[in-house]
Amino acid sequence: MASSGWELAVNESGVLKGHEGAVLAVRFNGDGNYCLTCGKDRTLRLWNPHRGIHIKTYKSHAREVRDVHVTTDNAKLVSCGGDRQLFYWDVSSGRVIRKFRGHDSEVNSVKFNEYNAVVVSAGYDRSVRAFDCRSQSTEPIQIIDTFQDSVMSVHLTKTEIIAGCVDGTVRTFDIRMGRELVDQLGHPVNCISLSNDANCVLASCLDSTLRLLDRSTGELLQEYKGHKCKSYKMDCCLTNTDAHVVSGSEDGFIYFWDLVDASIVSSFRAHSSVVTSVSYHPKDVCMLTSSVDGTIKVWRK
């Protein structure tokens, strides 16, 4: 099925080494020139994955770092993790500008909004919280606590907050409409990812299934199976062309599915251990994967 002409980032082109212990997340920045990783060693690292250069290390977290996001202007970072706080960093100086408190327990995911003015975080405390970057206050400006279980992943569009929760729901909070849309998937949602056109949401469920939902109708468009995802927090994403679905697997494999017919286009062993995170370049055929084995790998066509 790989004959369909799609270019897939299946060839390893580089390994980024530096993290001690598991790497929990890897994220491209907005234009795909840099990437950020975070992990068990309580550090954030900034890399140039294309040249394989480690640029900077950000140390301040007291516990593991689970997620990181960078502003569109690459000036600020926000990271979260086990210490129940969000760290708001200055990229160039490497200093923590502010720490946002409010979560009662570990924070799983964090994102900036479009204008880099708000940080939205999802935590194990069954809540999604929004913090204002522009004010001095470290208290949340909005708490969404309709979740019934740990919120694993959060995504933002221009007008919505989308969060996947272990209670088996993907919830969309439409700020413009003042509505909450709850899509019950019936299975704990591990990670959500938006398609590049933002019309679909890909939800990785703990029944080893990825589910693609139409966001406007809530309709299940496709299910992708074959990988193993039962207990670890793992990322999934769509490729830059939205033609394929990518996910890691607990056995260290990477799986590519055809978006439409859900067939496995490619699968290969990428890491020796659980693939915790995948991040696809916004434009090019380039992918980053991170693993518990402490490595980050760069994949190209």
Partner 1 sequence: MHQFGPDPWICGLVRIQPQKIRNPFRVTKLYPKPVSSKRTNGQLTKQRSFLFFFPVVSSLPSSISPIFALVASAPICTVSSPLSMADVDEEDYVYFGTPIEREEEISSRKRKAIAEPGTLRSLPPWKQEVTDEEGRRRFHGAFTGGYSAGYYNTVGSKEGWTPQTFTSSRKNRAEVKKQNIYSFLDEDDLKDIGGNTLETSMQYDTFGFTAAEFARKKAEEEQKKRPSAIPGPAPDEIVLPASSSIGMRLLMKMGWRQGHSIKDSNAESLSEIRREARKAFMALSSNKAEPDISEKDADGTDEFPDMSIDVLRNSENTPVYVLNPKQDMYGLGYDPFKHAPEFRDSKRLRESKSRETKRSKVHMGSLLSSNSKKYAPGFGIGALEELDAEDEDIYASGFDYEQTEVELEPSKAVSSSSGDRMLQLEHKKRGSLLGFKLASDSDYKLERFYPPAIPSNFRPIHKFGAPLDQTLKNYNSVPPPDAPPPENTNLRLLIEGSAAMVARCGKSIEDLYMEKSKTNPLFLFLKSGAEGYDYYVRKLWENKQKFVDNLKPAEKLTAENRGRILGERPLASTTSRVNDVSVKAREVINTQSSHGDTVTKPISLADLPDSAIKQFKHDPAKQERFELFLKEKYQGGLRASGTRSSTSTSTMSEADRARERLDFEAAAEAIEKGKQTIQISAPSTDHTKDLLGFGEDRFVSSTLIENSETKLEETNVVYPKREQFEWRPSPILCKRFDLIDPYMGKPPPVPRPRSKMDSLIFLPEIFKSSNKEDAKSPIGNSLEASKSGLKEAEAEPSASEADVAPTSPKNVERPVDLYKAIFSDDSDDDEADAGPALNQALNPVKSSEGANKTLNRLVAGDFLESLGKELGLEVPPGSIPGPSLNANTVSLPEEQKSCKGGDDRDNTPFPKVKETKSKDYGSTVDSSREKKRSHSKHHRRRSRTPDLDPDSGSDSDSHRRHRSRSKKRHDRRDRSRSRDSESSDEAYMNRKERRKKHHSRHHEHKKKDYGDKYSDKKRRS
What part of residues 220-249 is at the interface with partner 1 (CB under 8 A)? 220-223, 230-233
CA distance 111 to 297: 23
CA distance 203 to 79: 22
Q: Are 23 and 291 a contacting pair, CB within 8 Å?
A: yes
CA distance 84 to 265: 39
CB of 142 to partner 1, least distance (A): 4
Which DSSP category does 8 fall into?
-
- 194 part of the interface to partner 1, by CB under 8 A: no
CB of 56 to partner 1, least distance (A): 23
CB of 12 to partner 1, least distance (A): 21
Please give the full DSSP string across 249-283, using - where no structure is assigned: -TTSEEEEEETTT--EEEEEE--SS-EEEEEE-SS
Radius of gyration for the chain, computed over Cα atoms and rounded to the nearest angstrom = 18
- 159 part of the interface to partner 1, by CB under 8 A: yes
- 185 part of the interface to partner 1, by CB under 8 A: yes
- Find the part of the chain contacting partner 1 (CB under 8 A) among 51-59, 69-77, 85-93, 168-176: 168-176
How remote is the C-alpha of 128 from its chain's centroid? 15
Residue choice 62, 75, 117, 198 for contact with partner 1 (CB under 8 A): 117
List the interface residues with partner 1, window 259-298 (CB under 8 A).
260-263, 273-274, 276, 292
Residue choice 18, 30, 82, 226 for contact with partner 1 (CB under 8 A): 82
- 20 part of the interface to partner 1, by CB under 8 A: no
